[in-house]
Amino acid sequence: MYVCMFWIYSRIHPPAQSIHPVCSSKPSTTTSTSSTSTEDLSQRSNDEIAQLVISHQIKDHTLEKRFDTHRAVEIRRLAFDHKLSSLGNASALSSLPYQHSLDYSSVYGANCEIVVGYVPLPVGMVGPVTLNNESVYIPMATTEGCLVASTNRGCKAISQGGTGAHSRIVKDGITRAPCLRLPSAMAAADMKAWCETPVHFQRLKAAFESTTSFGKLTSCAPTVAGKNVYLRLTCVSGDAMGMNMVSKGSLAVIDVLQREFPSMVLVALSGNMCTDKKAAAMNWIEGRGKSVVIETTISKKVVETILKTSVGRMVSTNYQKNLIGSAMAGSMGGFNAHASNNVTAVFLATGQDPAQNVESSNCITLVEETTDGDLWMSCTMPSIEVGTVGGGTSLAAQAACLKAIGCQGGNSNCPGGNAKKLAQVVAAATMAGELSLLAALAANELVSAHMQHNRKPAGKK
Ligand code: ADP
């Protein structure tokens, strides 16, 4: 979704020299001017057309404009078979599936370009986990043996350990921070002061919200660095993860600023203080997407029977590892055992942007012993970026996984309700994973569990 801002920008500000349309809308006609562009190819075989692609008489990326999307993929595979053979990698694609499971007409113009097939990922299901008094099953796509089994054990401990898990969204807002350049540092300081004046914020907000029916601009935070201003715009985005929405709205804000500050130059729509898909203290401290806190209390008995360790060992392992160990490593947002494992597996299953696992995995895991001798645990995750509409969420398999959780599509009663539920489910999967891995480490059973789930005995198919 990040790359789509270039598409949005080029639509709103048509460039003198065309910006590469990374995510083009679905075109209806071809724009190629080569002689084969007008030729009727309907009688030609796939092999013949692949030859035309190889000899550059037809541009690969125009295949979907000329043929139905499934046939376009078949032709492209033939062309790539030829190209890969010339590099000594003949038949490499023969085991890459392309039939039956993916509707290429949904993918085209939305999710991927130059498509030759799809990579099947196993999806495991964990749960039920009791979250906010509701039973939830969570699909996880992964190739890491042990992860699903281990998370399932954590879910069991949460659900049987007491009253389940309870979570809250404590902050909500996706961000975009354009880099704006002024002629001097003093002019940059003037612009910061202008943006911080409440009546001016209302003008920026009105401009932003004229571009979207779901997005609401909630803040505008300028940071000055010399002549540059990084304007971090935050918006709530309903059930969308919101990168397209906030990027489009940001352009409208920039238009207002351009009129007020004619000498201002837009350096980049994303000035990196957003911060998207990069490790940054900004997201850890300020939050991005959904900021979630989740907690659970697990009885001493369940810690001993299901997690097979003791409360004291869990508290100590968490302290020595997730707090002291991460501090010694100079960690930023990594005060956890393996949040990224669960975040990424749920992201892949539910059509989220997997590159956003960088900031979405920010998490501090805290463990204490209660006065009753039970185990209290929480995960605080300030920047979970998820949506249930847009991106990969409408592809059939990913939509099925969202449906299994109970948060597919837009929430018509309460826009944003589905995305908020998904964020809390990501946090629940993370906490289940934290519980189980910490317990395995506390009981020193990690390696033996991995040997059982990751390493098939020799000779066994
Ligand atoms: P993103 O902004 O996450 O990149 P998209 O722009 O791909 O997502 O998808 C959001 C689109 O879905 C917008 O056009 C928006 O109007 C539409 N939409 C429909 N229902 C909802 C909803 N409940 N919440 C947010 N957006 C919605």
- For residue range 74-89, list pLDDT tens digits in order: 999 999 999 999 999 9
By mean pLDDT, which of 32-36, 165-169, 317-321, 346-350 is the weakest?
Answer: 32-36
Query: ∠ CA 287-420-439 to the nearest 5 degrees?
Result: 75
Cα–Cα distance measured from residue 175 to residue 234, given in angstroms and rounded to the nearest whole number: 4
Q: Which atom of ligand 1 is nearest to the CA of 212?
A: 16
Domains and CATH numbers, the chain: 20-107 (no CATH), 123-171+290-453 (3.90.770.10), 178-268 (3.30.70.420)
The enclosing H or E element of 360 equals helix 357-360
- For residue range 157-182, list pLDDT tens digits in order: 999 989 999 999 999 999 999 999 99
Q: Is 211 helix (H, G, I), strand (E, B) or coil?
A: coil
Does 244 sit in the ligand 1 pocket, CB within 6 Å?
yes
Total number of residues shown for the chain: 461
- For residue range 132-148, list pLDDT tens digits in order: 999 999 999 999 999 99
Question: Is residue 304 flagged as an active site residue?
Answer: no
Q: Which one-letter DSSP state was computed for residue 143? A: -
pLDDT value at residue 451:
66
The residue to mutate among 212, 245, 269, 402, having the most atoms of ligand 1 within 8 angstroms of its beta carbon, is 245
For the cut 70, the answer to whether the pLDDT of residue 35 exceeds it is no
Q: What sign results for the dihedral spanned by CA atoms 253, 255, 258, 260?
A: negative
The pLDDT > 70 percentage for the chain reads 88
Sequence letter at residue 402 = L
Does 410 sit in the ligand 1 pocket, CB within 6 Å?
yes
DSSP labels for 270-296?
--SSS--SS--HHHHHH--EEEEEEEE
* Stated pTM of the model: 0.90
Distances (CA, A) of 167 to 156, 177, 295, 430: 17, 29, 6, 12
pLDDT value at residue 405:
98
Under 8 Å between Cβ of 188 and 228: yes
Cα–Cα distance measured from residue 156 to residue 292, given in angstroms and rounded to the nearest whole number: 21
Q: Which one-letter DSSP state was computed for residue 19? A: P
Question: Is residue 100 flagged as an active site residue?
Answer: no
Sequence letter at residue 327 = A
Under 8 Å between Cβ of 215 and 390: no
Sequence letter at residue 265 = V
Residues 6+ apart with CB under 8 A from 355: 2, 277
Does 245 sit in the ligand 1 pocket, CB within 6 Å?
yes
For the cut 90, the answer to whether the pLDDT of residue 292 exceeds it is yes
